[in-house]
Chain A
Amino acid sequence: MASSSTENLTPEMFEPVDSDVNEQEALRGTRVSFWQDVWFRFRSNKGALIGMLLILAIGVMAIVGPLMNSYSYSEQDYSATNQIFAGDHWLGTDKFGRDLWTRIWYGAGISLIIAFLAAAIDLIIGVPYGCISGYCGGKVDNWMQRIIEVLYGIPNLIMMILLLIWLDRGIFAIALAMSITGWVAMARIVRGQILKAKNQEYVLAARSLGASHGRLLLKHMFPNVLSAVIVTIMFTIPTAIFFEAFLGFIGLGIRPPQASLGVLINDGFEMLRLFPYQIFYPAAVLSLLMFSFNLVGDGLRDALDPKLRR
């Protein structure tokens, strides 16, 4: 250790100095806000980043893709049906001679719109319901929970199928069918987070300092709830995309000539043995989209909740 230098000691080294307590407790490094920190962690997750870029790319193509050639999604050409490559039909045509390139991007757009719409409905109903139920507690919470418990027991699948047999299958109807029981999950999560936050010491502290109800909810609880809501939404969207495709595949998709990824896969499936390319493209876009959303969801969850990170 220090033994080698013992001989070089001089008396002035033994002069007293002031203790520097403050220097030790001073903050080191730059301050990073919560969201900067989240973004940093998210960015360092390669999978999530790739997923986000893919979603953006597919989103942009859903808007731009159909405009890139001269065909419309519903234009039929009986002189060029089931063509793998046919002139400027880049991805070929289907059994009615409709341009697959245009239809796939158009369908991807419809699928995305339905998924986002479903997520938005979940948000609009589920978040306030969960907030009120969790924050009020007592009798209100008790009754609201009874309703939730019965609704939660009704399988989503059943409700979706029944409603879509019943409703006229447009974009909004499909989104509505998916969120008719979907919001329950959101409400449960929000309520759970609110209950958790309510008993946290910093909320108690704020309350004892006389913070109003609105302020408590907005300033102290909502930021915590927000993380959970974002993560839930990020997993609701791919689930909605899946169910839309699923419904399309069993014949409950959007009405023709409109198309969604599920409807396109169903059309492709009918031609599977003869023209497998027709199922390949929409299936690839659908899988890629779900894969990306799952990656982003995983990444966001890890970034938002460092405790879960291992």
Chain B
Amino acid sequence: MGRYIIQRLIYMLITIWVIITVTFFLMHNLPGSPLKNEHKIPPEIKEAILKQYGLDQPVPVQYLQYLGNLMTGDLGASFQYNGRSVTSLIMEGFPASLQLGIQAIVFGTLFGLFLGCIAALKQGTWMDNATTVIAVLGISVPSFVMAALLSYFVGVKWGILPPGLWGSFAHSILPSLALSFLVIATISRYIRTELLEVLGQDYMKTAKAKGLSRSTTVTRHALRNALIPAVTVLGPLTVQLITGSLVVEKIFSVPGMGWMFVNSIKVNDYTAIMGVTIFYGALIVLSMFIVDLLYGMIDPRIRLADGKE
């Protein structure tokens, strides 16, 4: 197990390094100068700005400097906010995004679990069909369409909840809801498949042959075995939530990381794009790593070598 963790850790670090490097060189080989919007600036000021951002150095030197700064958590200075540090921008936007993500995951997982279990246990009935339709719709209707509809109808037209901006919990309901559709769809589909698979296993017959009631066999024997592999969807789900947050935050004008990222893309704020890209990349790679470890910890079959003989 220890060896496995170290091996995964090394892969994770390599992947993150590749992401950093690719991001850096792509951003530094962009056609046109990063300061092209400001060509009316007098040359000496431009030079001063270049110097301030370290852009007067040769690219390899800049790369090493960037890597060095990264180690200390410094992602450089943003162009669009006149030299504010990208790290502080990220830290400012991250809490809102995290709150949305957690709310969406908690609500989506609970509701998705519920739907998936119902679909599997009542297989072939109208309830199963209804959850299947919900799941396919959740996967098919993109989160930004869902978000735009929610914002327009619930927010603007009926005025039940704030259609945008950030502040109270009420502001977070609609964006989390828009994000959670995908979570619901993914989780319910996965649980349904896994649970059906488990219900057909021989050991379920053994459990029934012991005289356990249906509810006991399901909760004690089936659910546990179905939930263990379901942990693995949490990795891809993180990616989906990040993807979703970019558009959902834009639609609801939530001042989170996604919104800031989309703005940076719009105004070609290269340091900010680089910083957020690397942050996202590390976040995704890290969550995959954690899911891997988690899976190994809760599945006794993988727990093999933990010396609990």
Q: Do chains A and B touch in the complex (CB under 8 A)?
A: yes
* Residues of A that sit less than 8 Å from B by CB: 149-150, 153-159, 161-163, 165-166, 238, 242, 245-246, 249-252, 265, 269, 272-273, 276, 279, 283, 286-287, 290-291, 294-295, 298, 310
Residues of chain A contacted by B304 (CB below 8 angstroms): none
**B1 part of interface (Cβ distance < 8 Å):** no
By Cβ-Cβ distance, the 3 closest A-B pairs, closest first, are A153-B15, A291-B140, A290-B140
**B290 part of interface (Cβ distance < 8 Å):** no
State whether A158 touches B277 (Cβ < 8 A): yes
Tell me how far the C-beta of A191 lies from the nearest C-beta in chain B, rounded to whole angstroms.
18
**B139 part of interface (Cβ distance < 8 Å):** yes
Residues of chain B contacted by A291 (CB below 8 angstroms): 136-137, 140-141
Q: How many angstroms between the C-alpha atoms of A156 and B196 in the bound complex?
A: 31
State whether A165 touches B145 (Cβ < 8 A): no
Tell me how far the C-beta of B171 lies from the nearest C-beta in chain A, rounded to whole angstroms.
17
Task: Bin the interface of chain B by size.
Answer: 35 or more
Residues of chain A contacted by B196 (CB below 8 angstroms): 310
State whether B265 touches A250 (Cβ < 8 A): yes
State whether B14 touches A150 (Cβ < 8 A): yes
List 10 other contacts, CB 8 Å, given A150-B14, A290-B140.
A153-B288, A154-B18, A161-B265, A162-B277, A165-B273, A246-B246, A249-B250, A279-B148, A287-B145, A291-B136
Residues of chain A contacted by B288 (CB below 8 angstroms): 153
Residues of chain A contacted by B239 (CB below 8 angstroms): 155-157
State whether B140 touches A287 (Cβ < 8 A): yes
State whether A250 touches B281 (Cβ < 8 A): no
State whether A158 touches B273 (Cβ < 8 A): no
Residues of chain A contacted by B141 (CB below 8 angstroms): 287, 290-291
State whether B247 touches A246 (Cβ < 8 A): yes
State whether A250 touches B142 (Cβ < 8 A): no
Tell me how far the C-beta of B123 lies from the nearest C-beta in chain A, rounded to whole angstroms.
7
Residues of chain B contacted by A156 (CB below 8 angstroms): 239
Choose from B12, B27, B152, B280 the contact partner of A158 (Cβ within 8 Å).
Answer: B280
Tell me how far the C-beta of A235 lies from the nearest C-beta in chain B, rounded to whole angstroms.
10
Q: How many angstroms between the C-alpha atoms of A161 and B30 in the bound complex?
A: 14
Residues of chain A contacted by B29 (CB below 8 angstroms): 166
Q: Assuming A150-B15, A150-B18, A279-B148, is B30 touching A165 (CB within 8 A)?
A: yes
State whether A246 touches B144 (Cβ < 8 A): yes
The B interface is mostly helix, strand or loop, or mixed, namely helix
Q: How many angstroms between the C-alpha atoms of A294 and B296 in the bound complex?
A: 32
**B134 part of interface (Cβ distance < 8 Å):** no
**B242 part of interface (Cβ distance < 8 Å):** yes
State whether B136 touches A158 (Cβ < 8 A): no
Q: Assuming A150-B15, A158-B281, A273-B156, is B144 touching A265 (CB within 8 A)?
A: yes
**B262 part of interface (Cβ distance < 8 Å):** yes
State whether B246 touches A250 (Cβ < 8 A): yes
Residues of chain A contacted by B246 (CB below 8 angstroms): 246, 250
* Residues of B that sit less than 8 Å from A by CB: 11-12, 14-15, 18-19, 22-23, 26-27, 29-30, 123, 136-137, 139-142, 144-145, 148-149, 151-152, 156, 196, 200, 239, 242-243, 246-247, 250-251, 262, 265-266, 268, 273, 277, 280-281, 284-285, 288
Tell me how far the C-beta of B141 lies from the nearest C-beta in chain A, rounded to whole angstroms.
5
Q: How many angstroms between the C-alpha atoms of A299 and B23 in the bound complex?
A: 39
Q: Assuming A150-B15, A250-B262, A291-B140, is B277 touching A161 (CB within 8 A)?
A: yes
Residues of chain A contacted by B123 (CB below 8 angstroms): 310
State whether A238 touches B140 (Cβ < 8 A): yes
Tell me how far the C-beta of A158 lies from the nearest C-beta in chain B, rounded to whole angstroms.
5
Q: How many angstroms between the C-alpha atoms of A291 and B26 in the bound complex?
A: 35
The A interface is mostly helix, strand or loop, or mixed, namely helix
Q: How many angstroms between the C-alpha atoms of A150 and B16 in the bound complex?
A: 9
Residues of chain A contacted by B266 (CB below 8 angstroms): 251
Q: Assuming A150-B14, A269-B251, is B265 touching A252 (CB within 8 A)?
A: yes
State whether B148 touches A272 (Cβ < 8 A): yes
Q: How many angstroms between the C-alpha atoms of A150 and B8 in the bound complex?
A: 11
State whether B139 touches A294 (Cβ < 8 A): yes
Q: How many angstroms between the C-alpha atoms of A158 and B123 in the bound complex?
A: 39
From B123, B141, B262, residue with most partner A Cβ within 10 Å: B141
State whether B273 touches A154 (Cβ < 8 A): no
State whether B151 touches A272 (Cβ < 8 A): yes
Q: Assuming A165-B273, A166-B26, is B280 touching A251 (CB within 8 A)?
A: no
Residues of chain A contacted by B139 (CB below 8 angstroms): 290, 294
Choose from B19, B136, B152, B242 the contact partner of A272 (Cβ within 8 Å).
Answer: B152
Q: Assuming A245-B142, A252-B265, is B15 touching A166 (CB within 8 A)?
A: no
Tell me how far the C-beta of B32 lies from the nearest C-beta in chain A, rounded to whole angstroms.
11
Q: How many angstroms between the C-alpha atoms of A115 and B139 in the bound complex?
A: 17
Residues of chain B contacted by A269 (CB below 8 angstroms): 144, 148, 251
State whether B11 touches A153 (Cβ < 8 A): yes
Cβ-closest chain A residue relative to B277? A158
Cβ-closest chain A residue relative to B265? A251
Q: How many angstroms between the C-alpha atoms of A199 and B185 in the bound complex?
A: 35
